[in-house]
C-alpha cells in the first residue's frame, strides 16, 4: 500500500499518532511533499483540537481590560449582571436554593458560565473569588488552550510545522485547501490568533467576500482578540450566506460577552426554527434562562432537549436538581438514577442521590450513597459532601455528628462559609458565645455572597444591645437577599426602636 494513502486511512479512522508517524517518515525522505505535509497538518490539528464553543467564560483579564460599553443600569431580566430574583418574579428564591460563591443559583451541572459574577461584583471581588476553592475562573481566556497546546506540541518530534515569522500570508491565501488547514493549525496548535486573522482576511478578499467559511473563521478570530462588534458583523454575514449551527453558537457567545442575553435568545430561537433537531441550540437557550434566573423557561427547554436527545447528561442533571429544590425528591431520584444507568459514576452524583434519598425518607439508601460518595470524592467536592452529612445529622437530631461533620468540612476547605455559619449556630446552642461570634465573623469574611451569617450576626448584636451594629448588618443581609422575611422584620423592629429613641 502506498504510504500516503495508508496515512490518509489512519487519519480517517482517527489513529492520529500512527498517521503522524507515517507522515514523519515520508517527510524525512521528501521534505517538500505538500500532500504529506497537508495530511500531517490535519492530523496534528485534530490531535490538538478543542471545542472552544464551550469556553465562553470571561477571564479576569477580560473583565479588567474590557473596553466594550454596556449599560451601567440595565433593567432586571435584560442583562446577565442584573438577573431577576425573588418571589415577585419567576426567579429562584435564595432561601430555598443555595447560591455559588459568585452569587449564581446552584444548578445540577457545572459549566463555564457558572462562576460569572452577579451585579455589584467589583474587580477586587473577582480576583478574590478566583483564589477560593470551588471556583475555576481562569486568569486569561486562552489559559486552558495554551496549556493543552504546549503539552501536545512538546510531544511532536519534528517541531512546529509553520514558521509563523516567515509565513507569506498573501501567497497561501489563494490556495484555499491549504490555507484552511493552516488556519486551523494556527488557531488550535500554535494559538497565534493574529496571524490566523491576517490569513483569514486575505483569503476572504481572494474569494471576493463570498465564502461563508472564511467569514466564520474571521469572526472567530475577532472574537478571540476581543473585537466583538467586528466578530458579530462577520458571523452575521456568514449566516446569511450559509446557516451553520456552530456559527449560530459562536455568535451567541459574542452577544453574551456583550451582555445581550435577549438578543442571544432571539438568535437561538431563529436557529432552532431552521435546525429543529439540534439539541445544542435548545440547551443554549436553557443555559441563558438559567443565567437570567428564569427557571420556569429553563426547565421547559431542558425537557425539549431530552425529547430530542434522551441521553443528554446536562439536561437530566439540571432537571434532577430542579425537582429536588422544588420539594420533589422522589422525582429527582429518578433523574439521578438515570444518570447512573447511563454510566455516569462520580462523587457529586452519589452525593445528590444520597440527599434525594434522605429527603424522600429512604434513609438506608441515603447512607450507602454518602459512603460511596466519600470513597470516590476528591478534595474539591469532599467539603460539600461532609457539609451535607452535617445537615443530615441536624435533621436526625444528632447534633454531635453534625458538629463533627461541619468541623471536617472547614478543615478541608477553610473558605466554606456555610459550614462556619452552622458551626456558629451549634456553638450558640452550647452557650459558647465568643466562639460563635468568631465563627460568624469568619463566615462573613469568606462568604460575602451568603445572607445567613449577616442575619445571624445582626440577631446576635440585637440581643446584645448593639442596635446600630445590628442595623448595619441586617441592611447588608437584605442587600444580598432582599426578600428574607426575618431580616425585614428585624430591620422594622430596629427602625421602630430608633424612632422611639
- Give the model confidence (pLDDT) of 213-264 as tens digits: 999 999 999 998 888 999 999 999 999 999 999 999 999 999 988 888 899 9
Q: Kindly state the percentage of the chain with pLDDT values over 90.
A: 29
Cα–Cα distance for residue pair 59/39, rounded to 1 Å:
35
What's the mean per-residue pLDDT of the chain? 81
pLDDT at 463 over 50: yes
Mean pLDDT of 140-151: 44
Tell me, what's the pLDDT at 236? 94
Contact between 100 and 115 under an 8 Å Cβ cutoff? The reply is: yes
Indicate the burial class of 165 (C-beta count within 10 angstroms; 0-12, 13-18, 19 or more). exposed
Mean pLDDT of 468-495: 88
Tell me, what's the pLDDT at 161? 66
Cα–Cα distance for residue pair 481/289, rounded to 1 Å:
20
pLDDT digits (tens, 9 = 90+) for 75-101: 666 666 665 554 444 455 665 566 655
Report angle CA 198, 201, 202 to the nearest 5 degrees.
85
Tell me, what's the pLDDT at 396? 86
pLDDT at 120 over 50: no
Mean pLDDT of 67-77: 59
Q: Name which of 480, 453, 490, 436 is nearest 121 in CA terms.
A: 480
pLDDT at 38 over 80: yes
Mean pLDDT of 279-306: 90
Q: Which residue has the higher pLDDT, 130 or 4?
A: 4
Tell me, what's the pLDDT at 99? 63
Tell me, what's the pLDDT at 493? 87
Kind and range of the H or E run holding 116: none
Tell me, what's the pLDDT at 225? 87
- Enumerate helices (H) and strands (E) in the chain, giving the number of each: 26, 0
Q: Name which of 499, 460, 463, 492 is nearest 475 in CA terms.
A: 492
In which band, very low, low, confident or very high, does the pLDDT at 117 lie, cut at 50, 70 and 90?
very low
pLDDT at 145 over 70: no
In which band, very low, low, confident or very high, does the pLDDT at 58 lie, cut at 50, 70 and 90?
low
Tell me, what's the pLDDT at 243? 93
Mean pLDDT of 347-364: 90
Tell me, what's the pLDDT at 29? 85
Mean pLDDT of 482-499: 86
Cα–Cα distance for residue pair 76/83, rounded to 1 Å:
5
Amino acid at each position: 500500500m502506498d504510504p500516503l494513502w495508508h496515512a490518509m486511512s489512519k487519519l480517517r479512522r482517527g489513529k492520529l499518532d500512527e498517521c503522524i508517524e507515517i507522515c514523519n517518515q515520508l517527510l524525512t525522505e521528501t521534505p517538500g511533499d505538500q500532500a504529506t505535509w497537508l495530511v500531517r497538518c490535519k492530523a496534528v490539528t485534530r490531535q490538538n483540537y478543542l471545542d472552544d464553543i464551550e469556553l465562553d467564560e470571561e477571564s479576569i483579564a477580560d473583565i479588567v481590560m474590557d473596553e466594550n460599553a454596556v449599560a451601567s443600569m440595565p433593567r432586571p431580566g435584560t442583562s446577565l449582571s442584573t438577573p431577576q430574583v425573588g418571589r415577585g418574579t419567576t426567579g429562584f428564591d435564595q432561601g430555598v436554593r443555595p447560591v455559588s460563591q459568585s452569587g449564581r443559583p446552584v444548578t445540577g451541572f457545572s459549566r463555564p458560565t457558572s462562576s460569572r459574577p452577579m451585579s455589584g461584583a467589583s474587580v477586587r471581588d473577582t480576583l478574590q473569588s478566583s483564589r477560593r476553592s470551588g471556583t475555576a475562573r481562569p486568569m486569561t481566556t486562552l489559559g486552558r488552550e495554551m496549556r493543552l497546546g504546549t503539552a501536545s506540541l512538546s510531544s511532536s518530534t519534528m517541531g512546529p510545522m509553520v514558521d509563523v515569522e516567515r509565513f507569506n500570508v498573501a501567497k497561501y491565501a489563494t490556495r484555499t485547501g491549504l490555507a484552511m488547514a493552516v488556519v486551523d493549525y494556527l488557531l488550535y496548535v500554535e494559538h497565534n490568533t493574529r496571524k490566523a486573522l491576517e490569513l483569514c482576511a486575505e483569503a476572504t478578499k481572494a474569494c471576493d467576500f463570498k465564502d461563508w467559511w472564511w467569514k466564520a473563521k474571521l469572526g472567530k478570530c475577532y472574537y478571540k482578540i476581543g473585537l466583538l462588534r467586528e466578530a458579530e458583523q462577520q458571523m452575521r454575514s456568514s449566516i446569511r450566506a450559509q446557516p451553520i449551527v456552530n456559527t449560530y453558537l459562536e455568535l451567541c457567545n459574542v452577544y453574551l460577552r456583550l451582555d445581550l442575553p435577549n438578543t442571544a435568545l432571539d438568535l437561538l430561537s431563529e436557529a432552532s426554527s431552521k435546525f429543529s433537531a439540534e439539541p445544542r441550540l435548545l440547551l443554549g437557550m436553557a443555559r441563558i434562562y438559567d443565567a437570567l434566573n428564569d427557571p420556569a423557561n429553563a426547565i421547559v427547554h431542558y425537557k425539549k432537549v431530552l425529547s430530542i436527545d434522551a441521553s443528554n447528561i446536562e439536561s437530566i442533571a439540571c432537571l434532577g436538581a430542579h425537582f429536588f429544590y422544588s420539594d420533589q425528591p422522589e422525582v429527582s431520584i429518578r433523574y439521578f438514577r438515570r444518570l447512573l444507568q447511563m454510566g455516569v459514576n462520580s462523587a457529586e452524583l452519589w452525593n445528590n442521590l444520597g440527599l434525594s434519598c434522605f429527603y424522600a425518607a429512604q434513609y438506608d439508601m441515603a447512607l450507602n450513597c454518602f459512603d460511596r460518595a466519600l470513597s470516590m470524592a476528591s478534595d474539591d467536592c469532599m467539603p460539600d459532601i461532609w457539609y451535607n452529612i452535617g445537615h443530615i445529622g441536624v435533621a436526625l437530631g444528632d447534633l454531635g455528628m453534625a458538629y463533627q461533620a461541619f468541623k471536617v468540612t472547614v478543615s478541608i476547605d477553610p473558605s466554606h462559609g456555610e459550614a462556619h455559619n452552622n458551626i456558629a449556630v451549634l456553638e450558640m446552642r452550647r452557650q459558647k458565645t465568643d466562639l460563635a461570634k468568631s465563627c460568624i465573623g469568619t463566615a462573613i469574611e469568606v462568604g460575602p455572597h451568603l445572607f445567613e451569617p449577616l442575619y445571624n450576626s445582626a440577631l446576635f448584636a440585637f440581643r446584645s444591645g448593639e442596635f446600630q451594629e445590628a442595623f448595619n448588618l441586617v441592611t447588608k443581609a437584605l442587600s444580598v437577599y432582599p426578600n428574607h422575611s426575618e431580616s425585614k422584620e428585624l430591620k422594622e423592629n430596629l427602625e421602630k426602636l430608633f424612632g422611639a429613641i
